Amino acid sequence: MGNLSKTEPLDGLRNHAYLEKQNKLREIGVDIPTSQIVVVGGQSSGKSSLLENLTGFSFPRGHGLCTRYATQITLRQSAVASVVISIIPRPDADDKTKDRLRAFRQELDDFAAEDLVDVIEEANMTMGIRPSESKDTTLPMFSDDILKVEISGPDKPHLTVIDVPGLFEVTKEGMSRFTTDLDKAQVRQMARRYMENERTIVLAVLSCISDPATEGILQLAKEADPDGVRTVGVLTKADLAREQTMMQGLAQLVNDGTLKLGYFIVRNRGGDEQDLDIGECQLKEKVLFKQPLWAELAKTGRLGVDALREELRILLTELAKRELPKQRAEVDQRLIDCRKKLEAMGAPRDDLPSQREYLIKLASQFESIVRDALDGRYEGNPVFHEKPELKLATEIIELNEGFSDLMWERGHTWEFLSKPSDSPKTADTSEYEEKSTTALDSVSALPELQQIVSCDTARLAPLEILETQIMDHIGEYYRNSRGPELGTFGGSLLAMTFRAQTSNWRTIVMAHVETVIVIVHRFIKALLRHVVVDQRMRDELWDSVLVEKLTKAYSRAKSQADSLLGIELNGRPSTYNRSFNDTLQQARLDRLTRAIRQAGDEIDDDGGNGHAGLASRLTNLVFNKSNPEQVKEDIHDILESYYKISCKRFVDVICRLVVESDLLERNGSPLKVLTPALISRMSDEQLDMIGGEEVATKRERKRLESDIKGLKAAKKVLRG
């Protein structure tokens, strides 16, 4: 035990160029899945004996030395026979732990079993797992580190297999009296992790005399490899299969095709054969399979460790060749990702000048992307393709157009006579209303906006045009406010009717402004996540500086909108637009045209007296009107003409002064809050609080630097 024995050449596993890349990649520890053979099975499955036959290496037995971590056995051709035992740290270990584990290295030329026992016990202590019979349950029983056993010699092939701890069910007996259910779960999870790797060939080891239907290792293999394309079943202890019925069962299992890669049958070292060397044990296997009882199964070519080696040679070589380009691509992408993250973290920030410099750089980047977003220059920066929600100019333009349509379609309280109540709307505002509702609904997840933006998303719903006639309401206003004017009306009457006709404006305008506030706010938060990658820094910058300034800017915009509404709705109707007179004359002409058509229709319906009847009706139409009726028509026409001009003007005013200026473009707008000038004015305390690096950040920087170093080494290995 513990000695190196000569084995026959393993030509099937010696594709040195490919397999050596996988070995080196595994040793670098960059967590890139490698092409490998993993041997899994229960504690009494004969797994250790199988490994002995495959590698030519006799593992020590007894002494409580059951496998308690993954063991990588690597065979290499060399002029000098030697064994090097070292530890490959688990990928998630910190740098200090990795350095300590990598420092463990034992080089042996020739040794007895006791020597290997001592080395393994020392390795256990280095990994920090408890001694085999220790009652100290504060130390783990198993480790995710890998024990690497590198065996060199002139007659050794190039071969690497990984042995994981044997699965066990009993937690009070067996490998140790002090294993627990948690240990059992850890071993299963370790085995599952290796088996789920798509680049792993799984050797599922079970005894010939076990029942495959209830064998836990096959169920575990099926979970990791549902299609059975990576699993090789290995049936051990062939010398215990002595009955014909058992042989029939084995033949059926080997030929049933459940596993695409099939089953192999091998013989193990017997309990009374501990003094035999590996060559003698393999000879006994060959003698066994030449017996008549095995004649039929021998035809399958799946008996003995030699047949298994040949199959593994083909599988592992094909796998390594097929996966190498994918591994190269994965390493390249990981390297790109790590470099991006490290670049986003900037240079180390241990003093105030470096902190200010870094924050100014971020603010400049933020400012540049904002400028591109407002100008619609999306092609120059890939962020707009990665995050379409940052295409701010496009979204604001669509919202402003929808706002304009909604004001025109549903801003007035009553339909003017020039537009019949049953005429179709000229614009579909449903998409705008849906966007506005969605934006306002999201305020519940933005606590900083809840004092600024109303959460009443149903406020646009009541904006229906009243079906009652506008002339009835104009008449009521006229009767309740007429003065001593002769044939005309006072200026206050037009102001009252205009306020009544524009009663929907405040709701529409404030909803639009608040919608834009939410859109701008979400844009700022999304852009900050892109520019300021460090979450702690981003949160500190947001909470201590930006939120207060942003809410003030939003409040200014709302105050501006409210002020403009007050001027437009409560002031004296006024316009210097030359088109007002043209619009008014056109309204009066439209009224007269409608009246003439109506008169003509009535003559046709009544069978009137031709020209005389038409003349009589036109005389009544033009001259025989009461003074109040004439005034009401004048008020309607003036109101309609002024409303059209006012609505167009006010939509532009809100879009230009409130949306584009106060919320987007002007200095002090929400988008102009985070600037290099703001960083320059920060106090030393603010700079250190926001720009300083915490321990976690320093640790993350160190991890990224370590990952980049490992990935560069992996790239060199895979490209070499």
Whole-number Å distance between alpha carbons of 219 and 41? 11
At residue 151, the pLDDT reads 84
Specify whether 258 is located in the same domain as 129: yes
CATH of residue 272's domain is 3.40.50.300
- 39, containing H or E segment: strand 36-41
One domain for residues 311 and 433: no
Count of domains observed in the chain: 2
Q: What is the pLDDT of residue 448?
A: 92
Task: List C-alpha distances in Å: 319 to 34, 173, 198, 200, 352.
Answer: 10, 39, 10, 9, 53
Q: Are 154 and 24 in the same domain? A: yes
Q: Tell me the range of 62-66, 109-113, 405-409, 603-607 where mean pLDDT is highest.
A: 405-409
Indicate whether 514 pLDDT > 50.
yes
pLDDT band per the 50, 70, 90 thresholds, residue 110: low
Overall average pLDDT of the 625-645 stretch: 77
- CA 195 centroid distance within chain: 26
383 and 235 within one domain? no
Does a structural domain hold residue 600? yes
Q: Are strands 159-163 and 36-41 parallel, antiparallel or unpaired?
A: parallel
**Burial class for 89, CB neighbours closer than 10 Å (0-12, 13-18, 19+):** buried
In a domain, 708, yes or no: no
Closest CA to 235 of 250, 223, 249: 250
Q: How far is CA 427 from CA 270, 401, 407, 432, 565, in A?
A: 89, 10, 11, 11, 24
pLDDT at position 419 is 59
> What is the pTM for the complete model shown?
0.59
Which range has highest mean pLDDT (147-156, 375-384, 611-620)?
375-384
pLDDT given at position 61: 63
Give the percent of the chain with pLDDT over 90.
33
Say if residue 375 is in the same domain as residue 307.
no
How far apart, in Å, are the Cα atoms of 485 and each of 461, 488, 622?
A: 41, 6, 21
Q: Are 188 and 40 in contact (CB under 8 A)?
A: no
> Which residues, at least 6 apart from 460, have a Cβ–Cβ distance to it below 8 Å?
406, 433, 436, 437, 507, 508, 511
Output DSSP code: residue 38: E
Kindly report the length of the chain. Answer: 720
3-class SS of residue 463: coil
Token digits of residue 19: 């397999």
Asked which of 250-259, 319-328, 484-493, 582-591 is least confident by mean pLDDT, the reply is: 484-493
Distance CA 38, CA 164 (A): 7
Write the burial class of residue 159 (CB in 10 Å: 0-12 exposed, 13-18 middle, 19+ buried): buried
3-state class (DSSP) for residue 167 = strand
253 and 366 co-located in one domain: no
Pairing mode, strands 159-163 and 70-77: antiparallel
113 pLDDT higher than 60 = no
CA 678, 684, 685, 690: dihedral to nearest 10 degrees?
50
Segment 676-713, tens digit of pLDDT: 999 999 999 999 999 988 888 888 888 899 899 999 99
Give whole-number Cα distances, 290 to 75, 283, 296, 299, in Å. 30, 11, 11, 11
Residue 575 domain-assigned (yes or no): yes
DSSP state for residue 131 in the 8-state scheme:
P
293/395 same-domain check: no
Same structural domain, 326 and 391: no
- Claim to verify: residue 327 and residue 357 sit in the same structural domain: no
Q: What's the pLDDT at 580?
A: 72
Q: Are 166 and 42 in contact (CB under 8 A)?
A: yes
Q: Strand pairing of 70-77 and 36-41?
A: unpaired
Residue 314 lies in a domain: yes
φ and ψ of 363, to 5 deg: -65, -40
Q: CA dihedral in degrees (631, 633, 638, 642; nearest 10)?
A: 130
Least confident residue range of 8-12, 25-29, 178-182: 8-12
Q: Name which of 395, 668, 447 is nearest 554 in CA terms.
A: 668
- Which three-class secondary structure state does DSSP give residue 596? helix
Residue 306 lies inside a defined structural domain of this protein = yes
Calculate mean pLDDT across residues 399-414. Answer: 92
Q: Which residues contact 425 (CB under 8 A, 6 or more apart)?
A: 409
Contact indicator for 494, 480 with CB cutoff of 8 Å: no
16 pLDDT band, cuts 50/70/90, is confident
**The predicted structure's pLDDT at residue 144:** 87
- Same domain for 412 and 296: no
Residue 361 lies in a domain: yes
Q: How confident is the model at residue 48 (pLDDT cuts 50, 70, 90)?
A: confident
Q: If you ran DSSP here, which 8-state letter would residue 4 be given?
A: B
pLDDT at 407 exceeding the cut of 60:
yes
pLDDT bracket for residue 183 (50, 70, 90)? confident
CB atoms within 10 A of CB 118: 12
Q: Are residues 298 and 444 in the same domain?
A: no
**Closest CA relative to residue 143, chosen from 70, 94, 91, 65:** 70
Domain assignment present for 508: yes
| pLDDT tens by residue, 551-607 | 999 999 999 999 999 999 988 888 887 777 777 777 777 777 766 776 666 655 555
Mean predicted confidence (pLDDT) in 122-130:
87
Q: Is it the case that residue 13 has pLDDT exceeding 50? A: no
* Residue among 19, 21, 5, 14 nearest 720 (CA): 21
Same domain, 299 and 370: no
Domain span at residue 395 reads 353-692
Say if 453 falls within a structural domain. yes
